[in-house]
Structure formats: structure tokens, C-alpha cells
Structure 1
Amino acid sequence: MKKVLKKKYLLYSLPFLFLFAVVFPKLLGHGMFIDGVLYATIARNLSQNIGTFWEPYFTKTIFPSFSEHPPLGLYIQSILFSIFGDSRWVEKGYTLALAILQLLLISRIWKNISNKKDLSWAPAFIFVITPIVFWAMANNILENILIVFLMIGTLFIIRGCRAQKNYEAIFYGFISAIFLLLGFLSKGVFALYLLVFPFFCFYFLDKANKSKAIICQISLLFSTIILSLPFIFYTKSFAFFKLYFENQVYKGLVGDREISDPHFEILRALLEQIVLPVSLCLIIVLFIRNLKLFNFNRTTILYLLMALSSSLPLVISSKNHAAYLMISLPFYALLIASLFLNYLSRFHDWCVQTKYGAFLLYSLVISMSFVIIILSTRNYNRVLKNAEYHNDFTMQGKMPLENKLISFCPKWMRGKGATKMMASNLARDYKISLSLNPNHQFRIFLLNDPEACSIPKGCTLFFPKNPKEFAIYDCQEISSIDSINGENEVLMDSALFWYDGSKQQQE
């Protein structure tokens, strides 16, 4: 019996071993998706009282008042900066902790709904091996905190729909509304799909109390409205969300923001993401060699409706980033695990009860442990992303320059993603703001490129000593303005700066 229990624990460990094999080594090196660096910069600024909750601050010239996304997720991260200080390990540890929470919550949802509780490792494993998922887990994007809030809200909805007392259904509906609102305050309208979950549970949740499901649905709707009222009547939050809906939501719907692909492109992206987990399940089907019908029951339909309700609304927007699918992928993972339930159950029993299964299981655990050790050792302190920045500004020591406005020439930045990369990392490490004003004392140049702006005479190399692609020059002799004073600085066109319609921005 002890050996059987030990094997079960090894199965439960597989999703977390994969997480640490694929995500953890990436966090030990230098480089992160630019949006993740941007969010970490704003969170660090908030922790140092630079900017406020309703007016988050990025740089003097780009998003001095950031309204692209609601600020709660950034504020939560800022608390960690307040506790642990200004270190890149803060955002890396934060995104890893959220990844672990996601796996635990997916397993918990499975245990609350499915009769096969021993298979709680399966949906978590299917989720974490989805490419966009382990990419997101390593890159500090806001979908990570949103998923945590919405899965907790889902757990309370399940409890509310199975409640025995009216007050319990009302209470659980209210608590789920709180987490819906927390999700909305972290990532905006993506959180709203949670509103329809009690309706699905009314029809398809096993052991649901139908009358209590109705009460839970009403409680969720009214609680969400009531909890939202303070943000409507508070002047600062109303002004923030007015800008958010105008610049982010409306422009995204009409195709004025970011990528303007066909609306149904997101469905193709979804199919691409689930190919790997579905293929793995099909391999298990072939291995079992005892073909049965797929497990398409009420629970499977429930997961299907949850998944569709969180992904199909994306079709109406022209912003078709695969990362937006993150909010639906926990439910697609549950759906796939439920569809292949019979085969996964047989595979689970084979691993636990046979010596060959035990050999495979121990081999997987040992090999993944070695992969974790090898990749972590290999990647530590290496440049893994944004090499143009880190080779010059991280691997060559700390630059003796901070909280300055520095000039840059947009001629070589546009269309290459270099502006966003440079602006984010310089702001993150040195609180430096890139300026279109060409006359600041310190100026950044792209080297060895025929399209680059030439370095004026009178400028001397400031940092680094051995530049590879970028360098900052001290142009004090020909400078006409103080690079600390930014009161009269012209703001960059943020929409043009960040969202130029180039697919290249989807790193």
C-alpha cells in the first residue's frame, strides 16, 4: 500500500516537475518578454511611491499615466517589491508562484467536479505542457494573476451551486463576485465570462442543487453590480476606466489596436496550442490498445461550455494574441482530461500497479529532475532573451547612470522592436526615460548599422566599455538641455510606440 501511495505522489508531481524543467531555468537567466518587464517596472515604481494606484507610472515620456490595463495585478506585485526590494528576482519569483498556484487550482477544480479524483494530476499536466502556458508562466504577464482569481471564483461557484441552504448559495455567489471583480481589476473585461458559470452548473454540474444554482447565479450578478458601484462613483477610478475602455477595449474591437488579423484567427491559434496535449493523450490511447468511446458526459459538457465561454468572445476582437487564450486553457485542459478519462484512468492504474509502469514513472521523475538541474545550472546568469540589451547593459556591469532622460534616434528603432525592448529594460534597471528630444546630454546609439543615426562629434563613449550593438554616449559638450529636467518633455505617441500593427511584437 505504501508503494502504491508513493507512485501516486510521483504522478501528482509530474506537472510541477515539468514546470520546473521548462519554466524555472528560464527565470534564472537574463531576459523576459517585454510586457512582463513593463509590468515589473510599473510595479517597482508603485512600491517606491512613483505613480499611484489609479495613475501607474512607467517613464517620463512613455505612459506617465498607464491606463492600458487595470492596476490591481501591478499593485499586488508592487507589494512584493516593497517587501523584498528592487530585484529582478521579485518578478521572477512572483510569476513562478502564480504558475504553481494555477496548477494547484486546476487540480482542485477537478477534485471538486470529477468522480475520478486520483486523476487530478492529468488536467494540471495537460495545462502546463501547452506551449503558450509555459511561455506565459515564465514571462510575468497579467493573465497569470487573472487565472488564479477566476479559478478561485469558479471553486466558489461550484460550492454555491451545490449548497443546501439559501444563505450558503448567496454567500458563495458573493465571494465568487469578489474574485470576479479582482480579476476585472487585474486584466479588465476578460474576467467577465465567469458570470455565466452558475448557468452552466445548473444544467451540467453533478450533484448540483438547481434551486441553489439559480440563487447563486442571481447572487453573483447582483453582487458584481453592487461591488462595482464604488468604482463608478469614485472620480479617479471612473476616469481610469473611461480611458481603459476607450483606448484598449473599443479600439481593440474596431481594429485600431495592435494586430489586425481576421477575427477567427484566434481559433487557429487555439488549435495550435492544444495539438501537443491532445497528441500526448492519443499516444496513451494507442498504448492502452483497448479502444473505448470517449468520455462525453455531463461533466465533459460543463468543461466544454466553460472553455468556449472564455475563448469564443475573443473572436469579436482583432487583437489575436495567443496569450489571450490563457484564460480559457485551464478549462480546455479539464475538457481534454475528461474526454480521455477512460484512457488516462487505465494509464494511471498501469503506472501504479505494474512494474513496467513503475519503471516508466520513476524514469520520468528521475530524468525530469536531471533536466531541471542541468538546465538550471546552464541558464544561470546567461542571456536568454533581449540579447541586444543584456549583452551591453547587464553582462558588462552596472551602469553609473540613473533616473535620467536620454535621447534616442527613432530611425533605427521603428519596426525592429528595439524601442520597446530598450525602453522597458532601461526603465526597469535604471529608471531611464527615452526621449525624442535629440539634445540631452546622454544619448543612446545603435552601432554598426547603416540605417543608424551617426554619432555627433563631441560625444564620448559612456557605457559600456566594449559595446556590441548599443552604447550610451556623453554629449555634454554639445548638449543644450539638462537631462534631469523633464517637465517640458514631449510625450511619445504611446499607441504608435507600442502597437504598430507588426506581428513582430508577438515575441
Structure 2
Amino acid sequence: MALKLPFTCCRLLGCFSAPAQILWMLLGIVLLLRVVWGAVTQSMFFDGLIYASLARNISEGIGTIWRPSFSDGLFPLFSEHPPLMFGMEALGFLVFGDSIWVEKTFTITVTLMCCLCFIGIWRRINEDDRELRPLGAFPLILALISGRVGWAFSNNMLEILVILFTLFAVYLIVTTYGRVETSFRSRLPALVLAGLAIALAFFTKGPVGLFPLATIGIYAMAFGRPSLKTAIVDTAVLLAVFLAIVGFLTLFAEPRGSMFRYIDGQVLSSLSGERGSRGGGLKGLWSMVRVNFWLIAISALLWGVAHAVARNAPSDNGFSIMPLPDNRRRKMIFFFLVGLSASAPLLVSPRIHNFYFNPSLFYFSAAISVASISAFLYLVSRAPDLTLKRLKMALGLAMTVSVVVVGASAGRPGPDRDLIADARTVASVICPDQQQGSCERGVLACGAAWQDTQLHAYLQRLHKISLIPADSIPDTVAKYDQMIGDESCTSEQLAPFAPSEATLSSYQLLVRHKPNQVDDCLLRTG
């Protein structure tokens, strides 16, 4: 039995064919280097650090899931996003305590679950295509290397949970309608689950998680089933489930207050341009094209190489870019329209970052894969057996090296080693014995230091220290004896402080003058 299971899995995945073996090995390397390598170091983008800090604080009773709190100085009441991801990670902190491996394990687990959901969608859509069905690793590789998908997974970004819930909703939909016509009663459980998944995506990052509501209609357009009436009714069920969950939560004061704060402080202000106008309009459209660059480039490269090989093989003169078979054309249209439904609505907002498009890239990669995978299969079929054997050996070696590199990086500071060291230095000065109750868990900051969100994030996540703005009310400023600053601070902010002996990479750690120091200074001046 122990030996039978791996062989059964291999048979189901089709990994005994040469193309599948190559693709699955490539996928393993991509996962290790694009996701796991970044995830196992201490370094993390400040958004991910903030989300992990919110979750840790919730688990320790600082704030609640509906009123999360980041620090005393920044986001004492965090309402930038819905709270589902913080609540889920808080469960991990409750069980395992305050460890960076909670968020690291969470991100890697979500990554693997997303991969499984995506492979499930690919296999369901290609149920009738024995050539494409076992090659789900191909579009998954393209998705993970495109845009900032791999980066988002390794940095604990909200998009990873949106991707998971929306992939699961789409999987339920394609599974339901991929079969012969079924009764409404038999479809209802899957529709309710899909509606729940859409609601979970919404409570992770708001309206950007609602695009699977269009998937039934898109499926009907692409494949001619279900009927228009069925598509309308079933979409109404999805919407009703979502609205019922939202409506139920609004009956309670805390969830209702959280939703209103998020809509007012984030959604409406972003749509109006108050929260910045970087990337909207034509810039947003260009960003959407740019994040698909690698998908298009790799597809074009495969076709170009395949044609070059075919020209030199007289027996293969018939190989060319011909119209896709009708069933594949329909699949490509389906994936493309789902990707468009996930990305085009973002263009309404004047505030767009390139990682906002991450959920759509899984579907764009699938659409391009349907069109280009035949070129890959052709190249593999033309390669000599010895070449394929050497390629597999090289990939096996690359995977081994990747495992060693990832293992050696686990727990190390990573790219942000200087900031992490700075945070440790600040913590050692403010609280030498590292006991939470024995010292003030805050430090003043002015100028560029106050604007350094990454510094905020590392101090709070690793040491539970808050940066306090130096231009706070005098009574608040007087509570703190240390300040982080540089030449961008004003002379009034710097006056009560002198440089400490601690050395930071980018800033100075200053300490408040003691009374006798001030007197000595006045005597020398006099």
C-alpha cells in the first residue's frame, strides 16, 4: 500500500510522460525559488509584516478581529482592509505562540492549496482533452513567474487568500457545469459553497474578490451551457448567498462598524482619488498588459522555436499556427474572460498597484497555455531521448540545489538584514532585558524615520515596539526618552536629544538630554 499510493498519484497526474515529468520538475523549482525561498527568511514586505502583527496582537488581546490594532503610533485602529486574513492567522498565533513561522507556514500552506485548486480547475476544464489534462503544471508555472504572484505568496499579502477563495469558487462552478445537465437541487450545494467562498474573498480584500459572480455567465458564453435561464438563476443564488452572509453580519454592531470604516476609509477614498492616484486610467491598463509580459513572451518564444525546428524537418512542414480546435478555443475564451472579469474592474480605481492583478494572472496564464502548449509538446516530441534524459537530470540537479538553498536560508535575515538589525538594536536600547512589562514599548520618530513603513513593521512585528510621531502632543512626546531620526528632522524635534552610542544603518538613535547634561551645556554656552 505504501508503494502503491505514489504510483497511483503519478498515474493520475500523468507524470510518467516526458512532457509532464519536465513540467512538474520545473514547477517544483519555481515553487522553491519564487515562493518558498523568500518565505523562509525573516525579511518580508511591510504589508505582510503589518498583517502578521495585527494577527499576533489579536491573539494576545490587543484589539479584536473587528477592531484590529497595529501599534500605538500607526494604525491604532486598522480599517484599511476587511479582517478575515488577520483572524485566520490569529488562530495560528493562539496555538503556536509568537513565532515568525506562523505567518511563514500560513503563506506556504495557502500557496500549495492554491496550486491544488488551480490544477483541479485545469483538469476539469480539460476533461475531454487527454493531451492537455495532465499538463496543469504548465499554466501554473506561467502564473507563478508572471507579475508579482510569487512575490505575493512569499510576503504574506492579502491577495494570496483572495486567490485561494476565488479559485475554489471557480473550481466548484466548472465542476458543476462540466457534467451533463443536472437538476437545481443537485447544483445547490456547490452554489452555496461557491457563494460562501466569494463572501470569504470579500472579507479578505473587499470588492476585488467578487469576480467569480460572473463565472457562470462566462461559462455559458464560452461552452453554450448551461442555458441562459439556468445561468441567471444560479448566479442569483451565488449573489443571494453572498448578500445573506453580509446582511447577517451587519446585524451586529462590531462587524457593521468594521465594514463601514473600511468602505469609508478605503473603498470610497480610493475611488475618489483621495488615497493616491498612482496607476489609474491608461497607466492601469498598461500595468495590466505589463504583468502579462512573461506569459506572452514565453508563449511567443515556444512558437518561434517550434517553427524553427519544423522548418528544418521536412516531415514536419505542416506544423504552423493554425486556428485552434473548437473545444480548445472555447476553453481559451473562458479562461481569458474570467481573467478579464478579475482585472478590468480594477481600472475604475485611480489607485492601482501591479500586484492587484495577481488573482487574474492564473486565468490569463491558463488561456495562453491552451494556445501555446502544443508548441511545447511538439518540441518535446522532436527532442532525442538522450537530450530529454540529460534535461531531466539537469532539472533534478537544479531541484536539489534549490532545496539546499532554501534550507540554508531558513530563518536567516534575508534582504532586509540591515533593517532587522536596526530594529534589534533599538529594542536592546529601549528594553535591555526584553521583558514587556519592564519598559515603555515605544520610541519617538521624526522625519524620514517616521515615514519608513518597513521600520514601523519590523519594530512592531519582531519586538512589539511602536514608533510614535515626534510631533505628537507634548505630554505624549515627554513620555519617551529615545527617538529615531536623521537630518530630515526639524531642529525643534532634535533639540531635546543627543546621539546615543547605538549605531543604526540609516538613522540615528537619539536619547533625551538628562537635566545635568542640559545644565552643563548652558554653563559651557554661558
TM-score, with structure 2 as normaliser: 0.81
Q: Which amino acid aligns with 2:154?
A: A
Q: Who is 1:484 aligned against?
A: none
Residue 434, structure 1, aligned to residue 467, structure 2: yes
Match of 1:374 among 376, 382, 405: 405
Residue 5, structure 1, aligned to residue 44, structure 2: no
**RMSD of aligned alpha carbons:** 3.0
Q: Which amino acid aligns with 1:468?
A: S
Match of 1:74 among 80, 86, 100: 86
**Structure 2 unaligned regions, length at least 5:** 1-9, 308-318, 517-526
Q: Who is 1:341 aligned against?
A: 373
Distance 1:336 1:224, change over 3 A: same
Q: Who is 1:324 aligned against?
A: 356
Distance 1:138 1:253, change over 3 A: same
Conserved 8 A contact 1:44-1:81: yes
Match of 2:322 among 285, 293, 306: 293
Question: Cα deviations across residues 42-100 of structure 1 (Å, max 9, x unaligned)?
Answer: 01011112111111111123222211111011111111111221111221221122222
User: 1:142-291 maps to which residues of 2 (within 5 A)?
Assistant: 142-161=158-177, 162=179, 164-205=182-223, 208=226, 212-289=230-307, 290-291=319-320
Q: Which amino acid aligns with 2:204?
A: S
Question: How many residues matched?
Answer: 471
Conserved 8 A contact 1:123-1:334: yes
Q: Which amino acid aligns with 2:217?
A: F
Conserved 8 A contact 2:482-2:512: yes
Q: How far apart are residue 138 of structure 1 and its match?
A: 1.4
**Cα distance in 2, alignment partners of residues 357 and 344 from structure 1:** 13
Q: Who is 2:4 aligned against?
A: none
Q: Using the aligned pairs only, state the percent identity.
A: 21
Q: Which amino acid aligns with 1:440?
A: K
Question: Cα deviations across residues 185-232 of structure 1 (Å, max 9, x unaligned)?
Answer: 111111111111111111213775766544422321222222221122
Distance 1:445 1:226, change over 3 A: closer
Q: How far apart are residue 342 of structure 1 and its match?
A: 2.1
Residue 434 of structure 1 aligns to a residue whose secondary structure is: strand
Conserved 8 A contact 2:222-2:334: yes
**Cα distance in 1, alignment partners of residues 479 and 192 from structure 2:** 54
Residue 408 of structure 1 aligns to a residue whose secondary structure is: strand
**Cα distance in 2, alignment partners of residues 330 and 125 from structure 1:** 10
Q: How far apart are residue 356 of structure 1 and its match?
A: 2.0
Question: Cα deviations across residues 278-309 of structure 1 (Å, max 9, x unaligned)?
Answer: 22222222232232226361111111110111
Q: Who is 1:356 aligned against?
A: 387
Q: Who is 2:419 aligned against?
A: 389
Conserved 8 A contact 2:336-2:367: yes
**Cα distance in 2, alignment partners of residues 311 and 134 from structure 1:** 18
Distance 1:143 1:342, change over 3 A: same
Conserved 8 A contact 1:27-1:92: yes
**Cα distance in 1, alignment partners of residues 15 and 258 from structure 2:** 55
Conserved 8 A contact 2:28-2:399: no
Conserved 8 A contact 2:446-2:485: no
Return 372-381 or 84-93, whichever deviates more. Answer: 372-381
Q: Which amino acid aligns with 1:143?
A: E
Return 155-164 or 420-429, whichever deviates more. Answer: 155-164
Q: Which amino acid aligns with 2:142?
A: I
Q: Between Structure 1 and Structure 2, which shows a larger proportion of helix residues?
A: 2
Q: Which amino acid aligns with 1:275?
A: F
**Structure 1 unaligned regions, length at least 5:** 480-507
Residue 467 of structure 2 aligns to a residue whose secondary structure is: strand
Q: Who is 2:337 aligned against?
A: 305
Q: How far apart are residue 380 of structure 1 and its match?
A: 5.3
Distance 1:51 1:457, change over 3 A: closer
Q: How far apart are residue 372 of structure 1 and its match?
A: 4.0
Q: How far apart are residue 19 of structure 1 and its match?
A: 1.4
Residue 60, structure 1, aligned to residue 41, structure 2: no
Q: Which amino acid aligns with 1:66?
A: F
Distance 1:350 1:141, change over 3 A: farther
Q: How far apart are residue 322 of structure 1 and its match?
A: 0.5
Match of 1:411 among 431, 442, 447: 447
Q: How far apart are residue 470 of structure 1 and its match?
A: 3.8
Conserved 8 A contact 1:145-1:183: yes
Q: Who is 2:512 aligned against?
A: 475
Residue 384 of structure 1 aligns to a residue whose secondary structure is: helix
Q: How far apart are residue 357 of structure 1 and its match?
A: 2.7
Conserved 8 A contact 1:442-1:472: no
Q: Which amino acid aligns with 1:406?
A: G
Conserved 8 A contact 2:449-2:507: no
User: 1:19-58 maps to which residues of 2 (within 5 A)?
Assistant: 19-58=31-70
Distance 1:89 1:133, change over 3 A: same
Q: Who is 1:106 aligned against?
A: 118
Question: Cα deviations across residues 314-346 of structure 1 (Å, max 9, x unaligned)?
Answer: 111011100110121111111111121322333
**Cα distance in 2, alignment partners of residues 357 and 202 from structure 1:** 41
Conserved 8 A contact 1:441-1:474: no
**Cα distance in 2, alignment partners of residues 455 and 275 from structure 1:** 48
**Cα distance in 1, alignment partners of residues 15 and 67 from structure 2:** 55
Q: Who is 2:484 aligned against?
A: 445
**Cα distance in 1, alignment partners of residues 497 and 160 from structure 2:** 48
Q: Which amino acid aligns with 1:168?
A: S
Distance 1:355 1:4, change over 3 A: farther
TM-score, with structure 1 as normaliser: 0.84
Q: Which amino acid aligns with 2:370?
A: S
Q: Who is 1:421 aligned against?
A: 454
**Cα distance in 2, alignment partners of residues 320 and 166 from structure 1:** 39
Return 429-438 or 205-214, whichever deviates more. Answer: 205-214
Distance 1:4 1:253, change over 3 A: closer
Return 145-154 or 266-275, whichever deviates more. Answer: 266-275
Residue 70 of structure 2 aligns to a residue whose secondary structure is: coil
Q: Which amino acid aligns with 1:255?
A: G
Question: Cα deviations across residues 237-280 of structure 1 (Å, max 9, x unaligned)?
Answer: 12211111111111111111134344231221122222123222
